[in-house]
Amino acid sequence: MDHLLELDGLSVSYRTADGPLPAVRGVDLVVDAGEVVGIAGESGCGKSTLASTVLRLQPKDAVVEGEVLVAGRDVLTMGWGDLRALRWAEASIVFQGALHSLNPVRRIETQIAEPIQLHEPGLSTAEVTARVGELLEQVGIPAARSRVYPHQLSGGQRQRVMIAMALACRPQLIVADEPTTALDVMVQAQILDLISGLVKDLGVGMLIISHDLSVLSDVCDRVAVMYAGRVVECGSAEQVFRAPAHPYAKALAQAFPRVGDPAARYAPAGLAGDPPDPHAPPPGCTFEPRCTLAVDACREAEPPLLDIGGRQSACIRVGAA
Ligand code: ADP
Ligand code: MG
């Protein structure tokens, strides 16, 4: 059986005035039906770049290598007709900052109807209206509110509308880039509940991206942690959040404690420093300059992502253990 999504040696670099900027470097990842896979990592680690390649929506100045397979079909090389058919109907994306991308002067029903009409031009107006109502109910908004404008909705409701749009053409795969980042904590929890419920009920697969590991640990089956364009740790959500092996995964888990976690309240931990400049990465492990456990050998070569007891980690200490 083909995976719903398979990334094979995916690398993306941007052409810039200062030369190529490597944003994603050699990422392998799969998502299967009924599964929620998370990608965590600080801003600038390449998460959005990776997400954009799933539907070949990366910016024009991006050079992509490797393979992106959706249901076994190569997205990077398929013809435009196939790509158009794929978008919305097989896979859809909720973009980072999507909350602000609803058109303020159009009713939400019109905006949700658009991809449906595009993909199923044979449907009658009544059928489209019924489908829009059904989608709104599915995301917890009464169908009777379909004629409101975006400004009449709260932030959380607008995010629900974005999710309804992503579901509009019944895709098997949904990519959500920072879907709750702009929301306050309570609303964030409601949206995450909604997302996990939908994945279960509809049996779809989901790739969900967040800089906040605690957000992912609540909804994901598996989590990959990215640093400087690479996956440095990958495992079950529980492993990565509760017992991270890579020092970066550990730092990230501590930087974003679960709400109400008493241990975190007494030992709030920041993550000092910044990810490296992609144009001038440090020699060896890219996390070495910030790593409190670094030794000389860390400066020699970038550690490979190794299998360790059911998960993967890219740290020389982990490999040696
Ligand atoms: P994240 O989503 O994890 O914050 P991004 O994928 O947005 O990371 O960015 C990864 C790297 O690629 C960053 O260094 C960013 O500055 C760079 N980048 C993103 N988009 C572009 C672009 N269109 N042109 C050049 N560089 C870009
Ligand atoms: Mg991003």
Q: What is the CATH number of the domain that holds 13?
A: 3.40.50.300
Residues 214 and 280 in one domain: yes
Residues 274 and 254 in one domain: yes
Mean model confidence pLDDT for the chain: 92
**Which domain covers residue 142, as residue numbers?**
101-170
Residues 198 and 305 in one domain: yes
User: Is residue 266 in some structural domain?
Assistant: yes
**With b meaning 16 or more CB within 10 Å and e meaning fewer, what string describes 184-210?**
eeebbeebbebbbebbeebebbbbbbb
Choosing from 170, 193, 218, the residue where a domain stops is 170
User: Is residue 61 in some structural domain?
Assistant: yes
Q: What is the pLDDT of residues 280-298, one digit of tens each?
A: 999 999 999 999 999 999 9
Choosing from 170, 196, 212, the residue where a domain stops is 170
Q: How far is the CA of 214 from the centre of ligand 1 (A)?
A: 23
Q: How far is the CA of 129 from the centre of ligand 2 (A)?
A: 33
Residues 235 and 86 in one domain: yes
Nearest-CA residue for ligand 1 atom 25 is: 14
Alpha helices in the chain (DSSP H): 47-54, 80-86, 108-119, 125-138, 155-167, 185-202, 213-219, 237-242, 247-255, 262-266, 316-320
Residues 162 and 298 in one domain: no
Number of domains in the chain: 2
Q: What is the pLDDT of residues 21-54, one digit of tens each?
A: 999 999 999 999 999 999 999 999 999 999 999 9
pLDDT at 119: 93
Stated pTM of the model: 0.93
Residues 270 and 150 in one domain: no
Most confident stretch, 98-112, 227-241, 251-265, 307-321: 227-241
User: Is residue 150 in some structural domain?
Assistant: yes
Q: What is the pLDDT of residues 217-260, one digit of tens each?
A: 989 999 999 999 999 999 999 999 999 999 999 999 888 766 55
Q: Which ligand is nearest to the CA of 226?
A: 1
